Amino acid sequence: MTGPAREREGHRPSRTHPAKGRKAFGNRDGGRLLVLAPALGWLVLFVAAPAAILVAIAFADSDPGVPPFRLALSVAGFAVLAEDTYYLDALLTALRVAATTAALCLLLAYPMAMGIARAAPGRRVVLLALLMLPFWTGFLLRVGAWIGLLRDEGWINSLLQSAGLADAPIPLLYTEGAMLVGMVHAYLPFAVLPLFAAFLRLDPSLGEAAADLGARPATVFLTVTLPVTAPAAAAGFLLVFIPAAGEFVIPELMGPPEAQMVGRVLWQEFFQNRDWPVAAALAVALLALLLVPIRLFQRLEARP
Amino acid sequence: MRQGRLVRAAMLAGFAFLWLPILLLVAYAFSADRIPFQWGGFSLRWFHALAADERLVEAALLSLRIAAGAASLAVLLGGAAGWALARFGPFRGRAVFGALIGAPLVLPEVVTGLSLLLLFVALDILTGWPAGRGATTVLLAHATLGAAFVAVVVQARLAETDRSLEEAAMDLGATPFLAFRTVTLPLVAPALAAGWLLAFTLSLDDVVIASFVSGPAGTTLPMALFSMLRLGLTPEVNALGAVVVIGVGAMLAVAAILLRPRRG
C-alpha cells in the first residue's frame, strides 16, 4: 500500500531516474509500458469505472424501467437516506456491531499474538498455521458450523438439556450474540496477525527492565507492552472494523431479523426493492463513513 | 511464571474457539444421523449423498473453474502491478496506480459487488458485452479482487530481494530479457505461486461479490451453499465441510513448502 511519502515521490517524472549502465527488462520506457499498460487498463475498467458509475447512479433518479434508473443530477437517493431513520439506523448499527466485533477480536487476539510470538520457532510455525487454516477453510462452512452449534436442536442446546441445565431449548441462533460470535470467529485472524508481528519486534529487555525496576506483570503490560503494541492493535482493529461494517452474510444467516446492518439493507434495496439509486447512495454513504478508518489504516500500514 | 501461564491459557482458549466448530463440523460429517451435529454412529452416507447431489457438484465444478481462471488472471495482473510498484521507481501516476490496485483490499464486499454489477450492466447497454451475467462476469470480478492480493505479495517479495542481482547478471552480459527470465522470475516464483493460491481460495470463498455479478446460469458453490444455509444446516454441508477442510489443509501444506525461505 502506498504511504504518504511514496505519493509525494510519485509526482517526480520517471526520466530523472539515473541511468546505470544497461537497464533491467521493464526498466526501459518501452518495457515498462508493456508491463504497466495492460494492468492500468484493467484497473481503470474494473476498479475506477465501477466506482464512477456507482457515484453516477447514486445521483440518478429511480425509474420503473429496465434498468431501473434514469441518469440525472438528483439527490433524491440521499434524501431518502436522510429522511427515513431506517437507513441511518442501519448505518449506525453496522458501525456499532463492527466496533464491538473489532474490540472483541482484539481482546482475544492479544494473548494469542503474545503466546504465538513467544513460542519456540518450530512451534510458532505450527501455531501460525493453526491460526490461518480456519481462515482458509471456507467462511460459509464456518458459519454453517456455528449454526449447527447454536440452533434450537443444535449441539450446545442438546448438551445443556442432557446435562439437565435446561428444560427447553434456549434460543441462541438468530440473536445479536450469535451474530457477534460468528463475526469474531470470521475476523479473528485479521486482528492477531499485526499484533503478532508487533510482539515479534518487541524487545523483551524492555519488559525485563521494567520488571527489574520493580514493576509487577500487570504494570509492565499496561506501561510498556500496551503502548509499544498500540499501533499494531489499531491496525488490527481497523482490519476487522472495515470489512465488518459492510458485512452481509453473517447478519443474514445468524443475526436477528430486526438487526438491519447497512450491508443487508443495501442488498435488500438492490435485489428486493430494485431501487438502484438508493442502494448506490447507501454504498456511497458507507464508503464516506469508512474513508477515515481506511486512510488511518493505510497510514498505519505505511509506518516503517 | 504466573503471567506466562495466563497468556498460554488465554491463547489456548482462543485456538479452541477457532477450532472447536470446525472440528465438530468435520467429525459429525461421519455421523449417520439425519440431524446435523447429532451422533448416530459412523457412516459415510452423507459423503455419498454429497457426491450424488448434482446441483452442488455442478456448482463446485463451476467454482473451481472460475477460481482457477481468476487466480491465473490475477497472477498476471497482480504480478505486473507488484513488479511495477517495487521496481519501476517513482513514475508518473504511481500513487493513483497503487490506490487502484489496492482498492479492492479495503472496500466492503457489498460495495465492490454492487459497483462491478453496475459496470457490467452499463457495458451491456453500451457495447452489448458481456451479454448477460454468469461465470465470465464472476471470473472478471474475482480476478480483480485476487490481483490486489497478488500485487501485495509480489511487491513484498521483490522489496526483500536485491535489485543488484539483476544488475550483476546484465553486467556479466545477459540481455535484459535473459536477466528477467533467469534471475527475477525465479526470485518471485514462490510469491506468484502463493498469490495464485490466495486468489484461488478467495474466489472459492466469495459469496457476496459473486451473488451481485452472477446471473441465473452462474451459481457458484458458495452461492448454492448460502441458499442452503438460509434454511439451516444439512448433513451434506457437514460432509462438504470435511472435504474442504482436508483439501485446504493439503493445499496450505504445499504453499508452506513453496514459501519456505531459501538459504544460499
User: Structural domain tally of chain B?
Assistant: 1
Residue A39 has pLDDT above 70, yes or no: yes
Mind listing the pLDDT tens digit for each residue in A92-149? 999 999 999 999 999 999 999 999 998 888 899 889 988 988 877 888 999 999 999 9
Which chain B residues contact residue A57 at CB under 8 A?
118
Give residue A304's pLDDT band: very low, low, confident or very high (50, 70, 90).
Answer: low
CB contacts of A42 in chain B (<8 Å) are 77, 144, 147
Which pLDDT score is estimated for B65?
96
pLDDT for A214: 82
| Whole-angstrom distance, CA of residue B126 vs CA of residue B120 | 10
| pLDDT number for residue B261 | 67
Give the CA-trace dihedral at A284, A287, A291, A296, to 10 degrees.
-170
pLDDT tens digits along A175-220 = 999 999 999 999 999 999 999 999 988 877 877 888 888 888 888 8
Residue A285 has pLDDT above 90, yes or no: yes
Which pLDDT tens digit goes with each residue over B66-94?
999 999 999 999 999 999 898 888 888 88
For residue A45, the chain B residues in CB contact (below 8 A) are: 119
The reported pLDDT for the residue numbered A2 is 41
Domain boundaries, chain A: 84-141+174-302
- Per the prediction, chain B carries an average pLDDT of 89
- Selecting from B176, B230, B245 the residue whose C-beta is nearest the C-beta of A22 gives B176
The overall longest dimension of chain B from CA atoms, in Å, is 71
The answer to whether B140 contacts A46, with C-beta atoms less than 8 Å apart, is yes
- Chain A residues with CB under 8 Å of B22 CB are 134, 137, 141-142, 145
Residue B10 lies in a domain: no
Residues 88-107 of B with CB under 8 A from A: 88-95, 97-107
Contact (CB<8Å) A149/B24: yes
Q: What is the DSSP letter of B184?
A: I
Q: Which residue has the cell 451474530?
A: A179
**Residue closest to B98 by CA, chosen among B142, B141, B148:** B148
Q: Which residues of B touch A27 (CB under 8 A)?
A: 87-88, 176
Stretch B233-257: mean pLDDT, rounded? 84
- Predicted local distance difference test score (pLDDT) of residue A16: 41
Asked if A47 and B100 come within 8 Å (Cβ–Cβ), the reply is yes
CA distance A83 to chain B (A): 22
Q: What is the pLDDT of residue B145?
A: 96
CB-closest option in B6, B147, B237 to A144: B237
B187-225: pLDDT as tens digits = 899 899 989 989 998 999 999 999 999 988 889 999 999
- A90 conformational bin, left if phi > 0, alpha if psi -120 to 50, beta if neither: alpha
pLDDT of residue A25: 57
Looking at chain B from residue 160 to 219, which residues have their Cβ under 8 Å from any Cβ of chain A?
Answer: 163, 166-167, 170-171, 175-177, 179-180, 184, 201, 204-205, 207-208, 212
Does residue A19 carry a pLDDT above 70? no
> pLDDT tier at A29 (50, 70, 90 boundaries)?
low
Q: Output phi, psi for A69, to 5 deg.
A: -160, 160
According to the model, what pLDDT value does residue B3 have?
61
> Which of A88-92, B144-148, B166-170 comes out lowest in average pLDDT?
B166-170
How many other C-beta atoms are found inside a 10 Å radius of the C-beta of residue B170? 20
Do B38 and A158 count as a contact with CB atoms less than 8 A apart? yes
Residue A9 is predicted with a pLDDT of 42
Comparing CB atoms, the residue among A2, A35, A267 nearest residue B99 is A2
Whole-number Å distance between alpha carbons of A64 and A293: 36
CATH of A84-141+174-302, one of 1.10.3720.10, 1.10.10.10, 1.10.357.140, 3.40.50.2300: 1.10.3720.10
Q: Is B17 in Cβ contact with A108 (below 8 Å)?
A: yes
pLDDT at residue A12 tops 50: no
DSSP string of B225-247? Answer: HHHHHHT---HHHHHHHHHHHHH
- Neighbouring CB atoms inside 10 A of B127's CB total 9
B231 Cβ under 8 Å from any chain A Cβ = no
Q: What is the mean pLDDT of residues B13-33?
A: 93
Nearest Cα of chain A lies from the Cα of B214 at a distance, in angstroms, of: 13
Is the confidence at residue A265, as pLDDT, over 60?
yes
Which residues on chain B are in Cβ contact (under 8 Å) with A26? Answer: 83-84, 87-88, 176, 180
DSSP string, A178-243: HHHHHHHHHHHHHHHHHHHHHHHHS-HHHHHHHHHTT--HHHHIIIIIHHHHHHHHHHHHHHHHHH
CB pairs under 8 A between A and B: 308
CB count in 10 Å sphere of residue A151: 22
- The pLDDT > 70 percentage for chain A reads 89
**Which residues have C-beta within 8 Å of that of residue B254, sequence separation ≥ 6?**
B197
Kindly state the cell numbers that stand for A173: 441462533
User: What CATH code is carried by the domain that includes residue B189?
Assistant: 1.10.3720.10
* β-bridge mates for residue A69, sequence order: A62
Contacts of B119 in chain A (CB under 8 A): 45-46, 49-50, 53
Contact B108 A149 (CB under 8 A): no
Give the residue numbers spanning the domain of B160.
Answer: 53-258
Compute CA B170 distance to the chain's CA centroid, rounded to the nearest angstrom: 36
CB contact under 8 Å between B205 and A116, yes or no, is no
CB neighbours of A103 closer than 8 A, spacing ≥ 6?
Answer: A237
Q: Tell me whether residue B38 is in a domain.
A: no
Residue A173 has pLDDT above 70, yes or no: yes
Check residue B71 and give its pLDDT: 97
C-alpha span between A234 and A297 (Å, rounded): 8
Comparing A11 with B260, the larger pLDDT belongs to B260
Q: Do A24 and B90 touch (CB under 8 A)?
A: no
Alpha helices in B41-134 (DSSP H): 45-52, 54-87, 94-106, 109-127
Tell me which residues of chain B, numbers 44 to 73, contact chain A at a CB-CB cutoff of 8 Å: none
Contact B252 A48 (CB under 8 A): no
Q: Which of B77, B119, B225 to mutate against chain A (most A CBs within 10 Å)?
A: B119
Q: Is residue B9 part of a domain?
A: no
Look at residue A259 and tell me whether its pLDDT is greater than 80: no
Q: List chain A residues with CB under 8 Å of B244.
A: 137-138, 141
Residue range A54-71: mean pLDDT, rounded: 83
Q: Let me know if A300 is exposed, middle or buried by CB neighbors in 10 A (0-12, 13-18, 19+).
A: buried
What pLDDT score does A15 carry? 42
Is the N-terminal amide bond of B130 cis, ω within 30° of 0?
Answer: yes
- Determine which of B5-14, B69-78, B177-186, B227-236 has the lowest per-residue pLDDT on average: B177-186
Say what the pLDDT of residue A10 is.
40
Percent of chain B topping pLDDT 90: 55
| B137 is a domain residue | yes
Residue B17 near chain A (CB below 8 Å) = yes
Which residue reads 437516506 in cell numbers?
A: A81
